[in-house]
Amino acid sequence: MANQISAGPELLEYVREFSLREDEILRDLRRTTAELPGGTAMQVMAEEGQFLAFLVATTGVTDVLEIGTFTGYSTLCMARAVPPRGRVVTCDISGRWPEIGAEYWQRAGVDDRIEVRIGAALESLEKMLTDGGPDQFGLVFIDADKANYPQYYELALRLVRPGGLVVVDNTLFFGRVVDPLADDADTAGVREVNARIRDDRRVDVSMLPMADGITLVRRR
């Protein structure tokens, strides 16, 4: 049985040549984001954005919740994948970054499908539950501050419908999850959510060694 291969630059370029379909609008947003402080590290890989769109289209969900917008690359990918009357509700602590993405959402003709919630994500999620109750979304994507991942996960499970997906990004966290010297709050948050998902009998789970680690969680 073959083990997991190591994807170096040449192999990754091969994957992109034969799989990636990043168009001009997405490339422009990626380049703009790369010029920002920490932009390259914080932005999802193009392959991951395409994968998220694939998940949305394949599952047929019409409403998506995103926790952590940044400049909205993944937001754009998922908004394109929902049907014309679908919606992507995306949460960020600051309006500064989503405002950058708004130009590209408009260029792509999907800005009417995107609703931005500004403020502390935990408060935004609690308000959604208070206003609309549980089981509102078909897919939830978590990609925000890592220290709060365990709380985001629990709220996401309440907001996603039975049979829906919770997609958790950065679950390998640059390899820090296996580094005994890494004891910062963000690494601790990722480790805790990984352990919580592993032991959670409410869900089915698959952790993928893709990008910086992507965990797929299906609510039973």
pLDDT at 7: 81
Domain coordinates of the chain in residue numbers?
9-219
pLDDT at 198: 98
pLDDT at 65: 98
pLDDT at 4: 77
pLDDT at 2: 63
For the domain spanning 9-219, the CATH number is: 3.40.50.150
pLDDT tens, N- to C-terminus, the chain (220 residues): 567 777 888 998 999 999 999 999 999 999 999 999 889 989 999 999 999 999 999 999 999 999 999 999 999 999 999 999 999 999 999 999 999 999 999 999 999 999 999 999 999 999 999 999 999 999 999 999 999 999 999 999 999 999 999 999 999 999 999 999 999 999 999 999 999 999 999 999 999 999 999 999 999 9
pTM equals 0.96
pLDDT at 6: 79
pLDDT at 175: 95
Query: What residue type is assigned to position 174 of the chain?
Result: F
